[in-house]
Amino acid sequence: MGFVMRCSVGDFFTRHFGREVVDYLVDPFIAGTSGSDPDSVSIRQSFPDLFAIEESYGSLLVGGVKSGLKKKRDSKNGSSKVLSDSTKALSTQKRPRGSFSFVGGMQTLPHALSERLDEESLELKSSVLSLASNQQGNPLRNNWTITYSKEGSQQEEKHFDAVILTTPLHNMREIGVKKDGIPYSLDFIPEVVYQPMSVVITAFKESDVKNALKGFGVLVPRKEQKNGFFTLGTLFSSSMFPDRAPPGQVVFTTFVGGSRSRALASAPFDEVKEVALTDLRRLVGAQGPPVAVKHIYWEQAFPQYSLGYNEFLSSLEKMEGDLPGLFYAGNHRGGLSVGKSIASGCKAAGQVLSMLEGTGGRKLFTMASNNVDTLPKPAECKSTT
């Protein structure tokens, strides 16, 4: 059981389908959904349905057939029995999938959120220096003290009933947490690996791109490095979201780096741009110079859902148990996507509300980042897909 719990996506698919499937199907999928690689990520987190089938039936084929038959039987009988955790995963109804964005890009979301907050509730360009909890007295009233400095100026202190933390965990270690005046060590929380990523956005004249840009984009298997392809993949951004390019132009978003090439992710602009343009020429037939190029480097773009992810989750639960009123949410709890991150935040907000219910508590501090440095401007918020 321990082996299955810590099994990687690569091991799992190699065992069931062989290494070629891993190299040419699973590897690009993992790169395109996390910037990681099949041998470093947990099967349990990445493919929970397949994990549950193997756990329940010992075989994907037998499990697939039996769970299919069971589903048929259940729907025939109108059965609404309480299901075990593993069979719940198998019977969960398909949710609609796909990418989404907003008119004006993803920044529209934080803009819209900031618009709804008054000035006093939103502290930007601030560094949190310490988080201190005082469990004596009424445990649910004002027992969190946040010390922070705004734009490097003098320290300020504020008191809250609850704190939702969404920073990467290494930020939290830097901040330092205290419980009843004594430092509370977070050393029991396993280290989280973050993938670095360079994102290169290029615009071309439509007439300079030979290939038809059908679908989401293109993903590159790691094995293709031997043939001189060094990007992870490219999204056809203006095919997915037409408002991203003016008429007569197309826009690509190319990803470089991740666990596949950490050093390349942080290479200088000219080098990363050349890698992106070389692949674009060969993959989509982009000719001539691009109309525009933009490069963004994210030192810690995505947290990796490593093999020990379950131990990581247990340690978060221990921390929240030890420090009542502190909740952890974000893209390393329950999924990387924007939708799952929003769901994680909503869940934490719900937990705070139920904790405060009946206590008269009201004050809530959400620490979205230790390094927020731009004041978002309000913008229209419309879903495009």
Ligand X SMILES: C=Cc1c2[nH]c(c1C)Cc1[nH]c(c(CCC(=O)O)c1C)Cc1[nH]c(c(C)c1CCC(=O)O)Cc1[nH]c(c(C)c1C=C)C2
Binding site for ligand X (CB under 6 A): 31-35, 97-98, 216-219, 232-235, 255, 302, 335-337, 340
Nearest-approach distance from CB 321 to ligand X, in angstroms: 27
Nearest-approach distance from CB 41 to ligand X, in angstroms: 11
User: Cβ distance 304 to 41 under 8 Å?
Assistant: yes
Name, in order, each residue with C-beta under 8 angstroms of 308's C-beta and a sequence gap of 6 or more.
Answer: 6, 42, 190
User: DSSP label at 385?
Assistant: -
3-state secondary structure 327-362: EECCCCCCCCCHHHHHHHHHHHHHHHHHHHCCCCCC
Residue with smaller CB distance to ligand X, 190 or 335:
335
Residue with smaller CB distance to ligand X, 61 or 106:
106
CA distance linking residue 132 with residue 127, whole number of Å = 15
Nearest-approach distance from CB 110 to ligand X, in angstroms: 17
Nearest-approach distance from CB 343 to ligand X, in angstroms: 11
* CB hemisphere CA count around 29 (13 angstroms): 14
Nearest-approach distance from CB 51 to ligand X, in angstroms: 15
Residue with smaller CB distance to ligand X, 156 or 299:
299
Residue with smaller CB distance to ligand X, 177 or 348:
348
User: Cβ distance 298 to 35 under 8 Å?
Assistant: no
CA distance linking residue 251 with residue 241, whole number of Å = 10
In three-state secondary structure terms, 309 is: helix
> Could you count the other beta carbons within 10 Å of the beta carbon of residue 38?
24
Residue with smaller CB distance to ligand X, 132 or 336:
336
Residue with smaller CB distance to ligand X, 169 or 256:
256
Residue with smaller CB distance to ligand X, 34 or 261:
34
Read off the amino acid at residue 305: Y
> Could you count the other beta carbons within 10 Å of the beta carbon of residue 286?
23
Nearest-approach distance from CB 261 to ligand X, in angstroms: 12
Nearest-approach distance from CB 154 to ligand X, in angstroms: 38
Among the residues of the chain, which ranges form H helices? 2-5, 9-17, 19-21, 27-34, 43-46, 48-57, 60-77, 85-91, 108-115, 169-175, 237-240, 262-265, 269-284, 309-322, 338-356
